[in-house]
Amino acid sequence: MSHICAKDIKINPDGSFSVAWDGDIPRFEGHRSHFPSGFFAKKDLVALEMSICKKYPRILWERADLDAVQHDIKVKYAELMADEETLHHVTQHLLQYGITFVSKVPSTPDAVASIGSRIGPLKSTIYGTTWDVRSLSSAKNVADTSSDLGFHMDLLYYKEPPRLQILHYLRQSQRGGQSLFSDSFKAVATLVKRYLDPDDPNFQPTLNGSSPLVALINFKHPFHYRNNGHWLQHEHPTVEVDSSLNFRDSSKAHMKSLDISKIENALRAVRWSPPFRAPMLRQQNKKALLLDDWIRGARLLQQIFERQEAVFETRMEEGTCVIFDNRRILHGRREFAGGERWLRGAYIDDDTFRQRVLKMDDYYST
């Protein structure tokens, strides 16, 4: 490899500049690289994303909190399709609350793809780019029945589960079928305080290096799907946090030193999907204690996010749509009867959503 260095730099009146290189690529000697004004002043993308998220910080919620703002985090379909500012409001709602709603959506099967495409390309999965949830007499998936559907997140048997899920309600049953949502990050924050905050009324200090909270972060649980010729499996921790925080040390002294607010800000994802948990044999795990702690932690976490005051329950009417963060918001539904219930859905990848977040800076900087 030849040594490449700049041999001539020309700065233009508008602040742009060009560079000629010594030791350039063979056959391209003499060409110049052109750079716009402010090229090196641009923020690093990671730093830019962090600054945007800091501008629109997460708002952890329970039912009363979302009840108070549900009209503020709702937009109309026509405005979302035509207006860039409305799209950025939707992005902001997803960053802060992890959920947003769209009203007056056309009763057409392709409307969900139109909504998703405003954010970015849809994620293609074993179910296609869009898919249906409707009651079937011979359903292979509990989602395609009329029964209660417990809290869960989708596609955890993928290495990279989708970031966003979009559900368009094309038909709604006559009775029941209420949609249920719960903020898993709020539940984790509640659990964190229980183990780290001595002032919490439910404080349970770490004993003998045993901590269900630490187990939820360190223990990776397998999820799988084997059906219709597909076989997928991957393992994830129940609670994923930024790697900068040390949760390998569960000693009482270390746990006491952790900053509760930093843990809440470091939450990256929660993985919860009981119907798709793969078999987990105790002898496969080197630390049986960690598994025992995980079981206790999982039960505690479930108790927290299933509390009545934690659950936002709403009957989504025909022509409405919900978009939510599949790595944060748990969703489920009540049993239903009478009439046809038909939802059409789509997914969006994490990278696609993050790209949309970065575009907020371009929009508000102009």
Which of 155, 163, 85 has its CA nearest to residue 118? 85
Same domain for 298 and 182? yes
Same domain for 170 and 36? no
- How far is the C-alpha of 194 from the C-alpha of 213, rounded, in Å? 9
- What are the structure tokens assigned to 355, written together? 């790209």
- What are the structure tokens assigned to 147, written together? 């029964």
Q: Residues 6 or more apart from 339 whose CB is under 8 A from it?
A: 171, 172, 173, 174
Same domain for 26 and 84? no
Same domain for 20 and 93? no
Q: Categorize the per-residue pLDDT at 26 as very low, low, confident or very high, splitting at 50, 70 and 90.
A: confident
pLDDT in tens, 188-198: 999 988 776 66
Domain that holds residue 340: 43-366
pLDDT in tens, 75-111: 999 999 999 999 999 999 999 999 999 999 999 999 9
pLDDT of residue 90: 97
- What are the structure tokens assigned to 353, written together? 């959503």
Lowest mean pLDDT among 40-44, 48-52, 114-118, 125-129: 40-44
Same domain for 73 and 36? no
Same domain for 147 and 33? no
Same domain for 182 and 207? yes
Q: What CATH number did the domain enclosing 348 receive?
A: 3.60.130.10
Lowest mean pLDDT among 8-22, 26-40, 122-136: 26-40
Give yes or no for residue 287 having a pLDDT over 80. Answer: no
Lowest mean pLDDT among 179-183, 289-293, 334-338: 334-338
Say which residue, 197 or 356, is predicted with more confidence: 356
Same domain for 331 and 217? yes
- How far is the C-alpha of 144 from the C-alpha of 334, rounded, in Å? 13
Same domain for 53 and 9? no
Lowest mean pLDDT among 61-65, 137-141, 160-164, 267-271: 137-141
Please tell me the total count of domains within the chain.
Answer: 2
Same domain for 203 and 333? yes
pLDDT of residue 140: 57
- 88 neighbors 79 (Cβ within 8 angstroms): no
Mean pLDDT across the chain, nearest whole number? 86
Give yes or no for residue 169 having a pLDDT over 80. Answer: yes
> In Å, how far from its chain's centre is CA 143?
20
Same domain for 48 and 37? no
Q: Residues 6 or more apart from 87 whose CB is under 8 A from it?
A: 80, 118, 119, 356
Task: State the sign of the Cα–Cα–Cα–Cα dihedral 107, 140, 235, 192.
Answer: positive
Same domain for 275 and 347? yes
